[in-house]
Structures are given as structure tokens and as C-alpha cells.
Amino acid sequence: MPLATLDDVAARLGRLITDEEKPKVTAFLEDASAFVADYCTGTWDTADPPAAFKAVVCAEVIRWLAVSPGVVSEKVGDIEVEFGAASAAQALSPAAMASLRRYRRKVGSLTLRRM
């Protein structure tokens, strides 16, 4: 189940989602929600996820909507665009992962000594 809705994305975009965009945005919502759930496995109540999850999912969907298919990287100053054979796979951005870091399961080590 997506962690955000079409209306959530539209509110952040500042415009309505067109009928032509709805299938793509719906798929992106499901994908981004799956990435967030996978990244934060086991650290939150699935019935009541943190509000930050909705913000991250919406931000990732909007970012994915802004990427042109086949574009690997784009630079604004002095206009530089790099095209690849296929578009890069969608994934959470470093900013999204930083926002979600506190919801990840902590891993550590424990030193044991025999007495």
C-alpha cells in the first residue's frame, strides 16, 4: 500500500495530476513506498507510519517525474546532459536516505571477553 496518494503529490507539485499522468504517478507512489519500506524495515508500525515517510515518498515521485528517460546525468551550469543506453533504475536519493536514516534498524557490535 502506498505511503502517499495522488492528492499528496499534487499538493506538493502545486497542480493537479492529469489523467495521462495518473498511471505513472500511481506506479511511482507504489515503487517509492516499497523503497522506503525496504530501507526502513522493522523499525515502524505499518498501521501508522511516520509522517516523514509521506514527505519522502512525494519528494521521490516528484524527482522521478522530472527525470527524462535515458538521461543519466544533467548539469545546469554550462548545460551538460549525458545520455545512457537505458535510463538508470529508480532508487532512493541520498537526501531521502539521509531523511530516513533514523528509522533504520541500528546495527552494532559487542565485544565479548572470557573471564
Q: Does residue 87 surpass a pLDDT of 80?
A: no
Q: Does residue 85 surpass a pLDDT of 70?
A: no
d(CA 54, CA 3): 6
- Of residues 115 and 24, the one with the higher pLDDT is 24
Q: pTM here?
A: 0.75
Categorize the per-residue pLDDT at 83 as very low, low, confident or very high, splitting at 50, 70 and 90. Answer: low
Structure confidence by residue, pLDDT tens digits, 16-60: 999 999 999 999 999 999 999 999 986 677 788 999 999 999 999
Residue pair 6/29 in contact (Cβ under 8 Å)? The answer is yes
